[in-house]
Amino acid sequence: MFSAHPDHSNLMVFEHPLIEHKLSYIRDRDTSFRPFRALLSQIAGLMVFEVTRSFPSVDVEVATPLERTRCRRIDALITVVPILRAGLGMAEGILEVMPEARVGHLGIYRDEGTLEPVTYLKRLPRDLGAGPVILVDPMLATGGSAVAALAILRGSGASDLRMICLVASPEGVERMRREHPDVRIYAAALDRRLNERGYILPGLGDAGDRMYGTV
């Protein structure tokens, strides 16, 4: 069940020892891109468990080797939408546990000077309104990229939206609550604040650079 953070009604923070354990390595500046990518994917796979809890399911009849029995199967056309680049690392982990999902891509980067999002790629399924859409990006900092991505997804017909991120800032969560109040955010951690360059503290640095070794 979605259990909101006491200070943010739109946020659920995972308090799970295994996720916290993996996050401790991903935050560590000495963790290089190869384990960083693996950890990002693993954490996202673990988070999907909770994010999909509200998805509709139906009764199906299955023949086990011994007899017929009733089971439940998810009955939804699910779309996962990573924000490039770093969202790709989380999407991979989500698809490991939910291979039935479709994938849309949004290429958005943050202008380092203005911190405003710049969109350079949109590849989305036509019928986004046909089922739940999961926006994926490890970092929710100023919230500019996520807010822009959600506006694009709504403009393309999506209505049942939620977001998975690794680390969120209070500023980003508040901005999301103001601009997309119906969108639940699932985060592995809520960090302290943004610094003067819009980086999350303590955070993990630049997720895309750390993931691809472009630092």
Burial class, 101, CB count within 10 angstroms (exposed 0-12 / middle 13-18 / buried 19+): buried
Helices (H) and strands (E) in the chain, counts: 6, 13
3-class secondary structure, 108: strand
Q: Could you say whether residue 212 binds ligand URA (CB under 6 A)?
A: no
Helix (H, G, I), strand (E, B) or coil at 143: coil
**Contact flag: residue 179 with ligand PRP (CB under 6 A):** no
Residues across the chain: 215
* DSSP state at residue 112: T
Q: Which residues pair with 122 in a beta bridge?
A: 106
Nearer to ligand URA, 9 or 24 (CB): 24
83 binds, among ligand PRP, ligand URA, none (CB under 5 to 8 A by kind): ligand PRP
Residue 150 binds which entry of ligand URA, ligand PRP, none, with Cβ cut-offs from 5 to 8 Å by kind? none
Cβ neighbour number for residue 179 with a 10 Å cutoff: 14
When asked if residue 136 is in the footprint of ligand URA (CB under 6 A), the reply is no
Q: Which of 75, 111, 114, 192 is catalytic?
A: 114
Q: Considering only residues 19, 141, 187, 188, which one is a binding residue for ligand URA as defined by CB under 6 A?
A: 141
Q: Which of 33, 109, 199, 212 binds ligand URA (CB under 6 A)?
A: 199
Binding test (CB under 6 A) with ligand URA, winner from 139, 183, 188, 211: 139
